[in-house]
Structure 1
Amino acid sequence: MAPVAAMTALLDVRNLTRSFGGIKAVDSVNFTLQQGEIRALIGPNGAGKTTFVSLICGRVPVEQGTILFNGKDITRLPAHKRVRAGIAYTFQITSIFANLTVRENVELAGMREGHDGSAALAVLKQVGLDHLAEQKAGDLAYGHQRLVEIAMGLGLHPRLLILDEPTQGLSEEEVAAFIALIREIARNTTVLLIEHNMHVVMELAQRITVMQQGRILAEGTPEEIRNDADVQRAYLGA
């Protein structure tokens, strides 16, 4: 994989702000994500991480600031058009269709957003679920349900895949498989990962962005973040 410095910016956010009840959940954030990068977004609960990515994907309207994706201003673009532009977002809590088969979940996710759902089996093979394609999604173990959701995102053929707490509730073995999967996905897709599991963050991320109270506290390589005194005090428990 090419060094981050040689990559082209895919996402460029400037002065992004969003308030709820007078409290700034996201406060004048500037953020750049490079094409082909795996970036981790970390911070304590309430830091504004999920609101931030919800602004990027259009689930929450922007109060102030601009969002450029692939060089185009998408600040006011509806969420479904951002999906078609190449942004896929999987949720912190699984949002599969429990009564549909695994294959139907992936096909439906694509068809709802104007994509061809016929490649579902190829996507399921990529995440290791092709052997469960005809099983009801609601009957799967929790870890497999999380993989179905990732497959639903990949079925949209995104340029940017945003994952919100994807390893929550997974076993150690499932976490190890997830790390390998994301490395494979990142060959063709830029990944933005909200994650509390610091082992996953340090294993996967090329760069880490740390949020605190709606602002960016620090950014850097895993080694830089591990050694940052402000981050240690605010988040890593030192």
Structure 2
Amino acid sequence: MSLLEARGLTRHFGGLRAVDGVDFDLAAGEIHALIGPNGAGKTTFVSLLSGRVPVQAGSIRLVGEDITRLPAHARVRKGIAYTFQITSVFPGLSVFDNVALAVQGGRGSARDLRGAVAAALSRVGLEAMASDIAGTLSYGHQRLLELAMGLALQPRVLILDEPTQGLAAGEIGNFKDLVRSLVPEVAVLLIEHNMEVVMDLAHRITVLNFGQVLARGTPAEVRASPAVQEAYLGA
């Protein structure tokens, strides 16, 4: 049984078929990349999985439970965390308080707050910045803070939307090491334009184009696909 399973997911906006009958499976302990050209439907698809956009047709199951109609906050408590393409930290609060808010909204909200925050910050290397104001951090550190907030939710599934956008080359290397350290405890769904990151991290890749699945498979299989080369990667 898949950890996260989608069947026939559909979302149209007027005449635009943003997501058009997509099937998808995420296995426990897997890093699964979702790629495709701009406008392929990637962000809409993960918004359907996380509950930020309602499904028009199809179904979503998490560990066998139908969550298709659950609102986003209920899916967070079930174990789906979503970090955004643009940083969504609270700039006026401390690093500690940002993560504390996430702890209180997650699956383990009744556990020791201070210990949970410290564990999440330590995981991403920000423990020394706990008292800093989030808005004063560098962009790279804000992305790490957002990741700490996601981990503080104790997710089964962590969705990362363009996490390396704006990061320096050295920061990308550290990010890849961090993502690898999350599995098998957490399954990661990675939406990413940086193909070097995708090919290096992903166990499997799903390619979307015009709201439909163009290809899926291992990095080697996707790289070798003529259809993917024509639509996205280039020959």
Same-fold call, TM cutoff 0.5:
yes
Question: Aligned-pair distance for 1:21?
Answer: 1.5
2: CA distance, partners of 1:60 / 1:144: 28
- TM-score by structure 2 length? 0.96
**Residue 155 of structure 1 corresponds to which residue in structure 2?**
152
**Residue 171 of structure 1 corresponds to which residue in structure 2?**
168
Question: Aligned-pair distance for 1:50?
Answer: 0.3
In the alignment, residue 188 of structure 2 is paired with which amino acid? V
In the alignment, residue 80 of structure 1 is paired with which amino acid? H
**Residue 78 of structure 1 corresponds to which residue in structure 2?**
71
Aligned with 1:14 (options 7, 14, 17): 7
- TM-score by structure 1 length? 0.95
- Alpha-carbon deviations, 1:32-53, whole Å to 9, x = none? 1111100000000000000000
Q: What number of residue pairs does the alignment pair up?
A: 231
> Secondary structure of the residue that 1:13 maps to in structure 2?
strand
2: CA distance, partners of 1:111 / 1:193: 25
In the alignment, residue 14 of structure 2 is paired with which amino acid? G
**Residue 186 of structure 2 corresponds to which residue in structure 1?**
189
**Residue 232 of structure 2 corresponds to which residue in structure 1?**
235
Question: Aligned-pair distance for 1:110?
Answer: 2.0
Q: Does residue 38 of structure 2 align to residue 53 of structure 1?
A: no
**Residue 90 of structure 2 corresponds to which residue in structure 1?**
97
> Secondary structure of the residue that 1:9 maps to in structure 2?
coil
Question: Aligned-pair distance for 1:113?
Answer: 4.4
Aligned with 2:195 (options 164, 175, 198): 198
Specify whether residues 149 and 111 from structure 1 end up closer, same or farther in structure 2 by C-alpha distance, changes over 3 A only: same
Question: Aligned-pair distance for 1:176?
Answer: 0.1
CA contact (8 A) 2:28 2:184 kept: no
Question: Aligned-pair distance for 1:93?
Answer: 0.4
Q: Does residue 30 of structure 2 align to residue 37 of structure 1?
A: yes
Question: Aligned-pair distance for 1:187?
Answer: 3.1
Question: Aligned-pair distance for 1:112?
Answer: 3.5
1: CA distance, partners of 2:31 / 2:105: 27
> Secondary structure of the residue that 2:3 maps to in structure 1?
strand
**Residue 4 of structure 1 corresponds to which residue in structure 2?**
none
> Secondary structure of the residue that 1:111 maps to in structure 2?
helix
**Residue 124 of structure 1 corresponds to which residue in structure 2?**
121
**Residue 61 of structure 2 corresponds to which residue in structure 1?**
68
Specify whether residues 113 and 34 from structure 1 end up closer, same or farther in structure 2 by C-alpha distance, changes over 3 A only: closer
Question: Aligned-pair distance for 1:22?
Answer: 2.0
1: CA distance, partners of 2:223 / 2:48: 28
1: CA distance, partners of 2:223 / 2:106: 39
Question: Aligned-pair distance for 1:71?
Answer: 0.3
| Unmatched segments (≥5 aa) in structure 1 | 1-7
| Unmatched segments (≥5 aa) in structure 2 | none
> Secondary structure of the residue that 1:193 maps to in structure 2?
strand
**Residue 136 of structure 1 corresponds to which residue in structure 2?**
133
2: CA distance, partners of 1:103 / 1:195: 28
In the alignment, residue 17 of structure 1 is paired with which amino acid? T
How well do the aligned residues superpose, as a CA RMSD in angstroms? 1.0
**Residue 210 of structure 2 corresponds to which residue in structure 1?**
213
Identity %: 61
2: CA distance, partners of 1:66 / 1:187: 25
Question: Aligned-pair distance for 1:206?
Answer: 0.3
